[in-house]
Every structure is written in C-alpha cells, then in structure tokens.
C-alpha cells in the first residue's frame, strides 16, 4: 500500500538535498549567469526565455518575475523579459509552416537584438527547438544561458553558460530551475537599485 507520509517525507528531503548539491556544484555558473543577465539589463537589453512543456511554464514564471517584480521591498522599473512560449497563434503557425524545431529560432530572429540574453530551459538538455534558438542567437550576437538537468545533454555545449542541476529526477530538476530563476531575478533587481 502507498505510504503517503513516507512519500512526502522522501520528496521534501530529496528536494532539499538536490538544492544543496546545486549550491555545491552550480554556484559559479549561477553567478556567471546572473552577471550576464545584469549586464544585459544595465545596457538596455532584454531577456528571452524558451523551453517545452513544464519548462515552457517555467519560462513564463521567470520572465514575469523579471518584468513585474519578485521582491516586494524593491522598487524598480520593469525589466524587459519575454517568454517565447506564450503566443499560441505564433507557436501553431510556426509549427505548421516552418516546423516545431524552428519556432523559437524564428522568434529570436524576429525580436532578439545583440545585447539581449536568451535563456533556454530543458530538463533533458536535448530540446532541438531550444538548440536551434541558441544557434540563431549566436548568429545574431546574443548571449545564451542553458538552465538544464543532469549532464546538460547536447545543449550544454551550445550555450555560453550552462547551469546543470545535478539530479536524474525531473521533478527535482524543475524545482531547482525555479529556485535558480528566482535567485537570478533577486540578484538583478537588488543590484540594479543599489
């Protein structure tokens, strides 16, 4: 029989342990990525986010924290951030007309500019449409950050900075992606006003 108490205990402990591993193994990459994001914002750039499934939802979440605000004690202007995952007409037309593998690259081409930063989120690190977006970004002089899982998959070598959550469990990777996104947003908004 399923033991709910045991399951909840194990899940929360595993989540905590993964986050401690993130601190141990990802600190430098998280910091470098925060510096890249902050530099872009200070120089008038915008932040673009792309990913699939749960990672698409994470893109919306993190982009919104940058645009609106995360910390209610910080009074700041909006930070230009957009999730490339939210326009259903754009995504379905792109999927139909140019192929699903090209939807994010097309949006980077259309709205991205040198000085922006593209953040690609993928638990597997093997999302073809995110890799194609990274390729387009590089062609345009846009810096890239991969928020990935495990070993980073194929995407690890396709981005300027890769933060690879050290876990095999998709749920724990996704939880840590949101935590890292919140950390980036707080660093950027607090350092912008100081």
Give me the residue spans of the domains in the chain. Answer: 26-193
Q: Per residue in 142-188, pLDDT tens?
A: 999 999 999 999 999 999 999 999 999 999 999 999 999 999 999 99
Q: Count how many residues are written for the chain.
A: 194
Share of the chain above pLDDT 70, in %: 100
Q: Per residue in 26-70, pLDDT tens?
A: 999 999 999 999 999 999 999 999 999 999 999 999 999 999 999
Q: For the full predicted model, state whether its pTM sits above 0.85.
A: yes
Domain 26-193 architecture: 3-Layer(aba) Sandwich (3.40)
| Confidence tier at 100 by pLDDT (50, 70, 90) | very high
Buried b (16+ CB within 10 A) or exposed e, 138-173: beeebbbbbbbbbebbbbbebbbbbbbbbbebeebb
CA distance 58 to 190: 21
CA distance 37 to 28: 14
Q: Specify the pLDDT at position 194.
A: 80
- pLDDT above 90 (res 121): yes
CA distance 25 to 23: 6
- pLDDT above 90 (res 134): yes
């Amino acid at each position: 029989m399923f033991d709910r108490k045991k399951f909840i205990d194990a899940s929360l402990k595993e989540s905590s342990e993964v986050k401690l591993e993130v601190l141990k193994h990802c600190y430098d990459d998280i910091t470098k990525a925060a510096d890249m994001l902050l530099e872009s914002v200070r120089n008038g750039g915008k932040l673009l986010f792309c990913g699939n499934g749960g990672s698409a939802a994470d893109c919306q979440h993190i982009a919104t924290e940058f645009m609106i605000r995360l910390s209610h004690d910080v009074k700041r202007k909006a930070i230009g951030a957009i999730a490339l995952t939210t326009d259903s007409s754009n995504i379905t037309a792109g999927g139909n007309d140019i192929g699903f593998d090209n939807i994010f690259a097309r949006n980077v081409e259309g709205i991205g500019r040198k000085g922006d930063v593209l953040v690609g989120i993928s638990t597997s690190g093997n999302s073809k449409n995110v890799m194609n977006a990274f390729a387009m970004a590089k062609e345009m002089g846009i810096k890239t950050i991969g928020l990935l899982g495990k070993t980073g998959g194929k995407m690890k070598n396709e981005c300027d900075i890769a933060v690879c959550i050290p876990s095999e469990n998709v749920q724990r990777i996704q939880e840590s992606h949101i935590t890292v996104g919140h950390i980036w947003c707080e660093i950027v908004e607090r350092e912008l006003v100081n």
